[in-house]
């Protein structure tokens, strides 16, 4: 418990003055409240980690659940395998299947035959299994056969300790003597009875260059529109692969799919038939199966929540961190403060890089990234002998001697047409549709064409090992390459699936297995691959590349709904000489400086050094916080605010941005506080603090005195 005399923002030696608190509460009452809270926490924790499975033979129904969620599936008397219900065990609300329009979690088309809720199956086997990876939990698995196709279906559903989600997958194995063909796969085939209720739908865009899209939230009244709302997700598509729905009582569903390729997803409410429907189909699927081969539908997960969209996002983020996301490096320090040389663009050489590394280390930077321009050419991954006559190892060693990690920018699926790899193997080029974008003049390699894939794997391993690389910034134009070639080892018309599963995924698994300890950052075209498969290989992801302060805050606003905070990385190219600029890039994941650091004045350097120290003092609180979007999406016409609330610390950090043209007192209304608890409210830029209850703070708001083009940071600490 913090003492009242300690100012909450005096961490890591940051000098912040504070006045005596405005008022004191009765200490006896405060102690009593703390005792009661501790007692409740202990009671709530007992028995809550139990994950259970069950088979009810009389109903031919299988259950998998925990204290937060329960999913049930049934094989009826006609052999039809269907979803029965998803139950929120905390609120006792049940999302039930709709008998007039039933659904099955299995939905795919094999050799022109659709396997779905109306397929008659025979039960081959079923099992319940305790699992420890990727997290402790239980798995239900069922194997089914049908006379409709000469193969076998396997469906698996998992529930993990303490998580209100069921994660599931379907696989089909060709048991015939002839090749088969999968042409349709639905990752999210769920139909619910609407219970005569109304529903709203919510999702966010992902980044598209030229500001065609920048993580804008999309909210739709499904009932009123009476039409299906479409999303297009995956690499270089329009939306993040996540959506949430909730009814009039704020009972909600969260759905997401773990596929980097492009998918077409829908949500719709048909009030006339009483049906609420979801789907998410793999686009352009044309996947051949030899006898004995297995096709796997990409994993997906469905969860329950009660509350608003912030609650839906927070539950998803905790699930992602617990079950899906690549482990964070240096858990006590990450997300890092980083420096990237792109401020110099391609005009980078050994002297500039060495000088930049020295200045970056002085600022407190933890990762130094050498960006595009270091190689002889894109796809020719050897150092330019004129820029780096001694290679990259001297720079890598120097960066390490300064106490930083060495990162390298690597668009590994791109190659210049005159690069040795394409001059020797022109057939490795992806046969992309006309009009596909190039990457700084470079074209695409086809990652699921086996010879090209093998070369990419070996070359990236060589680069990492030869140059002493600790961090890879993977970039490029569309990581899931479209390829119309009929000469490659993938099937014609199947590149969306093949270049995802057999291409990018296999490359990352092979390279990361061979280079343990090296961490990867997703920078596909500045934030155009926002999926829950992406986070399984990368420790962070850029949102909207190197953009201005307001555009960056817009991206953080939307991007902080579905993904954990560390996946909201920002690059700051603007001059870091005021708090409005620096702190517009500070809320979220890694804080990346991308400026011409060698040209900074001494006053700028001193200012940045202090801002870096502030970020480091806040990141531990922010990284596992629940995000509250306190104002509408920022547009530059009003002072906007966003809050990170850390339940373990019972501490909130608020960033308030002075976007208006005049100085003003803005009242900010935080959320998520304990109404009866007492908190100390402190300001970073103003030597002032006061005490108030959570209820007073949330109802009356916090008056924040803020000047135009400045940012105030407010701390709310429980006493």
CATH of the domain at 95: 2.70.98.60
Q: Is the dihedral of CA 389, 391, 394, 395 positive or negative?
A: positive
Residue 450: both structure tokens together:
């086996």
Residue 657: domain span: 11-37+626-718
Q: Of 275, 294, 324, which marks where a domain is finished? A: 324
376 pLDDT exceeds 70?
Answer: yes
533 pLDDT exceeds 60?
Answer: yes
299-314 pLDDT, tens digit per residue, is 999 999 999 999 999 9
Same domain, 215 and 172: yes
Q: How far apart are CA 430 and CA 436, in angstroms?
A: 11
Structural domains counted in the chain: 3
Confirm if 245 and 202 have CB atoms less than 8 A apart.
yes
Q: How far apart are CA 598 and CA 393, in angstroms?
A: 21
Q: Strands 471-476 and 405-410: what pairing?
A: parallel
Tell me, what's the pLDDT at 441?
94
Please give the full DSSP string across 114-145, using - where no structure is assigned: EESTT---EEEEEEEEEE-SSSSEEEEEEEEE
332 pLDDT exceeds 70?
Answer: yes
Q: How far apart are CA 370 and CA 375, in angstroms?
A: 10
Q: How far apart are CA 228 and CA 223, in angstroms?
A: 10
Q: Of 262, 291, 324, which marks where a domain is finished? A: 324
71 pLDDT exceeds 50?
Answer: yes
Average pLDDT over residues 30-47: 30
What single-letter DSSP state applies at residue 321?
I
Q: Is residue 600 part of a domain?
A: no
Length of the chain (residues): 719
Same domain, 285 and 407: no
Q: Is residue 571 part of a domain?
A: no
Residue for token digits 């959570």? 694
Same domain, 291 and 345: no
Same domain, 124 and 165: yes
Confirm if 564 and 695 have CB atoms less than 8 A apart.
no
Side-chain-facing half-sphere of 297: CA atoms under 13 Å: 33
Same domain, 284 and 361: no
Q: How far apart are CA 496 and CA 691, in angstroms?
A: 56
Q: Is residue 136 part of a domain?
A: yes
Tell me, what's the pLDDT at 476?
94
Q: Is residue 128 part of a domain?
A: yes
Q: Residue 635: give its domain's CATH number.
A: 2.60.40.1180
570-609 pLDDT, tens digit per residue, is 999 988 999 999 999 999 999 999 999 999 999 999 999 9
- Segment (H or E) for 414: strand 414-415
Q: What is the CA radius of gyration of the chain?
A: 27
Average pLDDT over residues 680-703: 96
* Inter-helix orientation angle 505-514/450-466, to 10°: 30
Same domain, 189 and 297: yes
Ranking 17-31, 430-444, 628-642 by mean pLDDT, the lowest is 17-31
For 223, the 3-state DSSP assignment is helix
42 pLDDT exceeds 60?
Answer: no
Confirm if 366 and 319 have CB atoms less than 8 A apart.
no
Q: How far apart are CA 353 and CA 395, in angstroms?
A: 8
What's the Cα-to-Cα distance from 507 to each of 99, 237, 499, 500, 530, rounded to whole Å? 44, 22, 10, 10, 19
What's the Cα-to-Cα distance from 413 to each of 279, 354, 381, rounded to whole Å? 31, 28, 12
Q: How far apart are CA 97 and CA 76, in angstroms?
A: 14
Starting at the edge strand found earlier in the chain, the sheet holding 108-110 runs 113-115, 108-110, 180-185, 287-289
Q: How far apart are CA 151 and CA 100, in angstroms?
A: 28
Confirm if 4 and 719 have CB atoms less than 8 A apart.
yes
Q: Residue 30's Cα: distance from chain center in Å?
A: 39
Q: Is residue 548 part of a domain?
A: no
Q: How far apart are CA 689 and CA 185, in angstroms?
A: 57
Tell me, what's the pLDDT at 23?
37
Q: Is residue 161 part of a domain?
A: yes
Sorting pLDDT into bands at 50, 70 and 90, what band is 526? confident
Confirm if 546 and 202 have CB atoms less than 8 A apart.
no
Q: Of 542, 566, 583, which marks where a domain is finished? A: 542
Average pLDDT over residues 654-671: 95
Q: How far apart are CA 407 and CA 367, in angstroms?
A: 7
Confirm if 446 and 511 have CB atoms less than 8 A apart.
no
Residue 321: both structure tokens together:
């961190």
Q: How far apart are CA 412 and CA 469, in angstroms?
A: 14
Q: Is residue 590 part of a domain?
A: no
> Where does 258-404 show beta strands of DSSP type E?
263-270, 275-282, 287-289, 294-306, 337-340, 367-370, 375-377, 380-383
Confirm if 491 and 288 have CB atoms less than 8 A apart.
yes
Tell me, what's the pLDDT at 49?
63
Q: Is the dihedral of CA 341, 344, 350, 352 positive or negative?
A: negative
Same domain, 146 and 173: yes
131-150 pLDDT, tens digit per residue, is 999 999 999 999 999 999 99
Q: Strands 367-370 and 337-340: what pairing?
A: parallel
466-477 pLDDT, tens digit per residue, is 999 999 999 999
**Class of residue 92 by CB neighbours under 10 A (exposed 0-12, middle 13-18, buried 19+):** exposed
Same domain, 220 and 309: yes
Same domain, 317 and 421: no
Q: Is residue 549 part of a domain?
A: no
546 pLDDT exceeds 90?
Answer: no
End-to-end CA distance of the chain: 7
Quickly count helices (H) and strands (E) in the chain.
13, 42
Q: Residue 500: give its domain's CATH number.
A: 3.20.20.70
Same domain, 313 and 350: no
| Nearest CA among 110, 111, 265, 230 for reference residue 172 | 110
Same domain, 311 and 381: no
What predicted TM-score, i.e. pTM, was given to this entire model?
A: 0.92
Q: How far apart are CA 316 and CA 245, in angstroms?
A: 13
34 pLDDT exceeds 50?
Answer: no
Residue 675: both structure tokens together:
């109404």
Residue 692: both structure tokens together:
């108030």
Same domain, 216 and 267: yes
Question: What are phi and psi for residue 264, nearest 5 degrees?
Answer: -115, 115
């Amino acid at each position: 418990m913090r003492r009242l005399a300690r100012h909450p923002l005096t961490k890591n030696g940051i000098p912040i003055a504070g006045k005596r608190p405005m008022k004191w509460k009765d200490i006896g009452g405060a102690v009593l409240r703390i005792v009661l809270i501790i007692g409740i926490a202990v009671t709530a924790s007992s028995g809550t980690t139990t994950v259970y499975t069950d088979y009810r033979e009389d109903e031919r129904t299988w259950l998998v659940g925990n204290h937060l969620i329960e999913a049930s599936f049934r094989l009826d008397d006609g052999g039809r395998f269907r979803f029965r219900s998803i139950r929120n065990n905390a609120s006792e609300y049940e999302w039930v299947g709709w008998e007039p329009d039933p659904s099955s979690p299995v939905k795919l088309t094999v050799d022109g035959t659709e396997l779905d809720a109306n397929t008659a199956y025979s039960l081959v086997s079923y099992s319940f299994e305790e699992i420890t990876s990727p997290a402790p939990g239980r798995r239900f698995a069922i194997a089914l056969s049908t006379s409709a196709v000469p193969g076998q279906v396997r469906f698996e559903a998992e529930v993990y300790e303490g998580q209100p989600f069921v994660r599931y997958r379907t696989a089909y194995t060709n048991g015939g003597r002839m090749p088969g063909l999968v042409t349709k796969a639905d990752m999210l085939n769920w139909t619910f009875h609407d219970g005569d209720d109304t529903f709203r739908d919510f999702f966010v865009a992902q980044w598209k260059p030229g500001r065609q899209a920048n993580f804008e939230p999309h909210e739709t009244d499904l009932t009123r529109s009476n039409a299906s709302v479409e999303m297009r997700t995956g690499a270089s598509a329009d939306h993040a692969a996540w959506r949430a729905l909730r009814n009039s009582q704020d009972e909600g569903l969260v759905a997401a799919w773990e596929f980097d390729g492009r998918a077409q997803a829908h949500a719709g409410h048909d009030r006339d038939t009483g049906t609420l429907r979801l789907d998410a189909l793999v686009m352009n699927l044309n996947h051949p199966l030899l006898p004995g081969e297995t096709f796997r539908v990409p994993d997906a997960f469905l969860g329950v929540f009660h509350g608003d969209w912030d609650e839906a996002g927070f539950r998803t983020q905790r699930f992602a961190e617990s079950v899906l996301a690549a482990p964070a490096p240096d858990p006590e320090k990450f997300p890092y403060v980083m420096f990237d040389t792109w401020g110099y663009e391609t005009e980078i050489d050994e002297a500039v890089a060495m000088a930049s590394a020295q200045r970056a280390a002085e600022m407190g930077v933890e990762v130094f990234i050498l960006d595009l321009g270091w190689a002889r050419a894109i796809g020719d991954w050897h150092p330019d002998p004129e820029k780096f006559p001694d290679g990259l190892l001297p720079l890598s060693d120097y960066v390490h001697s300064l106490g930083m990690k060495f990162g390298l920018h690597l668009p590994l699926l791109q190659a210049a047409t005159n690069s040795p790899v394409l001059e020797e193997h022109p057939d490795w080029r992806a046969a992309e549709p006309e009009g596909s974008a190039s990457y700084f003049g470079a074209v695409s390699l086809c990652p699921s064409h086996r010879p090209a894939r093998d070369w990419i794997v070996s070359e990236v391993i060589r680069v990492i090992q030869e140059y002493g690389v600790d961090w890879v910034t993977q970039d490029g134009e569309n990581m899931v390459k479209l390829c119309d070639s009929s000469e490659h080892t993938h099937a014609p018309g199947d590149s969306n699936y093949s270049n995802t599963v057999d291409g990018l995924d296999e490359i990352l698994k092979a390279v990361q297995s061979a280079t343990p300890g090296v961490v990867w950052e997703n920078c596909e075209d500045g934030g155009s691959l926002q999926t829950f498969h992406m986070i399984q290989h990368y420790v962070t992801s850029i949102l909207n590349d190197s953009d201005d302060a307001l555009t960056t805050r817009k991206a953080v606003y939307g991007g902080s709904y579905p993904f954990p905070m560390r996946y909201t990385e920002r690059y700051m190219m603007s001059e870091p000489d005021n708090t409005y600029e620096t702190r517009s890039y500070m809320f979220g994941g890694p804080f990346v400086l991308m400026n011409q650091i060698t040209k900074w004045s001494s006053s700028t350097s001193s200012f940045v050094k202090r801002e870096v120290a502030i970020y480091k003092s806040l990141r531990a609180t922010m990284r596992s916080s629940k995000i509250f979007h306190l104002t509408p999406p920022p547009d530059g016409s009003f002072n906007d605010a966003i809050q990170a609330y850390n339940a373990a610390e019972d501490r909130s950090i608020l960033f308030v941005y002075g976007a208006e043209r005049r100085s003003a007192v803005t009242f900010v209304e935080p959320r998520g506080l304990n109404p009866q608890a007492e908190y100390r409210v402190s300001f970073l830029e103003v030597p002032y603090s006061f005490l108030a209850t959570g209820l007073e703070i949330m109802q009356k708001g916090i008056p924040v005195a803020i000047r135009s083009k400045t940012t105030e940071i407010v701390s709310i600490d429980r006493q």
